[in-house]
Amino acid sequence: MHLPFHGFSSPRRAALAGLLALALALAGCASLPGRDPLNVQVAGVEPLEGQGLEMRMAVKLRVQNPNDSAVDYDGAALELELNGKRFATGVSSERGSVPRFGETVLTVPVSVSAFSAIRQALGLADGSRLDNIPYVVRGKLSGGMFGTTRFSDTGSLSLPGY
């Protein structure tokens, strides 16, 4: 019997077999029908208790799934910009699922450094109010090795209590 890997040492055979399996798996994933991207919008911002000089907020994200199958997630990360400047970052280890043709609200706690808060305050020194501030939020929902979904949203928001 002639083996295709004949003449290669055992470690090389294992590496070649692993590469072959990876190539087949990627080819299988490429043949899956396309999924529409998730729609993610900022649904609200609420103050949280901070520590020291930092501010903390809970950013609520409304995640809509326009697909025919549920999307499971296992963690989230996001970055929030206000007035074109990085303002806050946060992560959540929350697990959940967005049902098929459904939606869910995910809360991600974010931290605002004292430096970021001062920079934003100086940018608002002209007497501007803390409502209708332009924002950009970028982030990702983790769903495993091939399931991470990146998102971004833009709009304007009001920061209650600040």
Beta carbons of 45 and 26 less than 8 angstroms apart? no
- For residue 137, the number of C-alpha atoms closer than 13 Å in the C-beta half-sphere is 29
- Which pLDDT value is given to residue 90? 95
Q: Number of folded domains in the chain?
A: 2
Query: Looking at the structure, do residues 20 and 79 belong to the same domain, yes or no?
Result: no
- Which pLDDT value is given to residue 133? 81
Q: Is residue 162 part of a domain?
A: no
Spans of the chain, pLDDT less than 50:
1, 5, 8, 19, 24-32, 162
- Which pLDDT value is given to residue 58? 93
Domain range for 5: 1-32
- Which pLDDT value is given to residue 29? 41
- Which pLDDT value is given to residue 129? 56
State pTM to two decimals. Answer: 0.67
Q: How far apart are the first and last CA of the chain?
A: 76
Which amino acid makes up residue 71? V
The Cα–Cα gap between 120 and 152 comes to 21
The Cα–Cα gap between 26 and 22 comes to 6
Query: Looking at the structure, do residues 103 and 149 belong to the same domain, yes or no?
Result: yes
